[in-house]
Amino acid sequence: MSYSATLGRTDYEFDSIRDLLATANEQKTGDELAGIAADSDAERVAAKTAVSELTLETLYENPAVPPAEDEVTRTIREGLSERAYDQVRTWTVSDLREFLLDVGTTDEDIRAIRDGLTSEMIAAVTKTMSNMDLVLAASKMTTTARCNNTIGTDGTVSFRLQPNDPTDDVENIVDGVREGLAYGMGDAVIGINPVTDSVARTTEILQATKEFMRDWDVPTQNCVLAHLTTQMEAVEAGAPADLLFQSIAGTEAGNREFGVDSALLGDAHELGQRECTADGPNVMYFETGQGSELSNEAHAGVDQLTLEARCYGLARQYDPFLVNTVVGFIGPEYLYDGKQVIRAGLEDVFMGKLHGLPMGIDACYTNHTKADQNDIENLSVLLTAAGANFFITVPMGDDVMLNYQSNSFHDGATLRQLFDLEAAPEFQAWLEARGIADGSALTAKAGDPTVFT
């Protein structure tokens, strides 16, 4: 079935829903690399017009990848609320956009329908929205989650403390934990990317961070971002992990490249509920990012925004505590410059929240991208206004292990002060008891890691 739109005196034809969605996407170098992007701004506008006139039922009946070929599609459809879907199936994408942006639409109104939306519906409405639309609609939605503390409550923004070390030196990692906590970071998670993916190294880092948390009564959670199977083996042997982490993709083939499938994710969720050291109930942590399927030659001809939405459709089946997009980490082959990184970051957080996820972001870029720290700070301000649950922070904004640029501990403190936001409630009380924070502001004692010696 083909779709069409007329712009001025020009008629545009689109061969399929997949073609139409790809053409309606904002300019992304990844879509251009895949050969599925609009040929001109006029064609892009025509495609957006045609997308806005689709019914949500049409999108349900025509998923980007057929369910017979892809377990991500099947998982998304199996998790759909038929009752909520019946409320919206006759809506057009334009109707959904107007509903989300209407001044009278509340968080409760959105909760009533969101479980009836497939990822393709959410991707489609995203393509018809401006940057400010995305910020406004996202700001209406709250998604809380509970592990050892609670994130996403009104008046809060949280931060992952990422004390990576290029040699996995545990003492250096613990020193990084001291520094980050002294700046009020770490209420989302103390999460370390290990250099060596082994059960022994994963266990060693988990034990060191857990011992520090217990010694100083830190109300947060720890996680080592080794491969999921490595973490599971460590936990089964008694390693003290609060969260289990995995990168996921929007196609079955993409997840195969990551070494996971829905059965393994289900097993991990069950293991986490049973053996992780957290209070829970939310014990999973997922990471995503536009373009990963293309980089693995697993995109199935689908644009990177739609595939990103499908990651969130998969993630919500496992009731995670954290989901974040690593928006600029993948490089300029997929998001060329600061403009594309900012747009993708806004899209991803909006789509994650509309899936009902506790959505955060690593607002970041690699050094060969046409972007700089001001772009990342601009994105962070926009996404704090949009109500992102959490951001990732690294010392001085420079991750010396992964070799990319992100938000700094100082950026996190500035965002809280600028928007009069506090940390997760349990963590905020701990910061104030330690004399590190007073409301949304840091004290003169902040930034001194020797307070934890």
Count CA within 13 A, CB hemisphere, residue 396: 4
Nearest to 341 by CA among 247, 416, 405: 405
Q: For residues 377, 383, 388 and 390, what is the CA-based torsion angle, rounded to 10 degrees?
A: 0
Distance, in Å, from the CA atom of 285 to the CA atom of 309, rounded to the nearest integer, reads 17
In this prediction, residue 40 carries a pLDDT of: 97
Q: Please name the helix (run of DSSP H) or strand (run of DSSP E) that holds residue 322, with its range, or none.
A: strand 322-326
Q: Confidence band (pLDDT; 50, 70, 90) for 54?
A: very high
| Phi/psi at 63 (5° precision) | -65, 155
Query: 3-state DSSP call for residue 181?
Result: helix
Q: How many helices (H) and strands (E) does the chain have?
A: 21, 17
CA dihedral 39, 41, 44, 45 (to 10 degrees): -150
Q: 283: Cβ–Cβ under 8 A, 6 or more apart, which residues?
A: 147, 242, 243, 244, 269, 272, 273, 276, 321
Residue 259 has a pLDDT of 98
Q: Once rounded to an integer, what is the mean pLDDT over residues 320-330?
A: 96
- Say what the pTM is: 0.97
Task: Give the pLDDT band (50/70/90) at residue 79.
Answer: very high
Q: Is it the case that residue 289 has pLDDT exceeding 80?
A: yes
**What pLDDT is recorded for position 123?**
98
Looking at the DSSP bridge assignments, the partners of residue 393 are: 161, 407
Cα separation of 27 and 50, whole Å? 17
Residue 156: band (very low, low, confident or very high) from pLDDT cuts 50, 70, 90? very high
Question: For 371-415, what is each residue's pLDDT tens digit?
Answer: 999 999 999 999 999 999 999 999 999 999 999 999 999 999 999
Average pLDDT, the chain: 97
CB neighbour list of residue 404: distance below 8 Å, 6 or more residues apart: 328, 329, 364, 365, 366, 367
pLDDT at residue 1 is higher than 80: no
pLDDT one-digit tens code per residue, 165-212:
999 999 999 999 999 999 999 999 999 999 999 999 999 999 999 999
pLDDT at 290 over 90: yes
Neighbours of 11 (CB within 10 A): 10
Listed in sequence order, the residues at least 6 apart from 452 whose beta carbon sits closer than 8 Å to its beta carbon are 178, 181, 182, 212, 216
Q: What is the pLDDT of residue 2?
A: 83
| pLDDT tens per residue, range 231-283 | 999 999 999 999 999 999 999 999 999 999 999 999 999 999 999 999 999 99
Structure tokens at 147: 């592990």
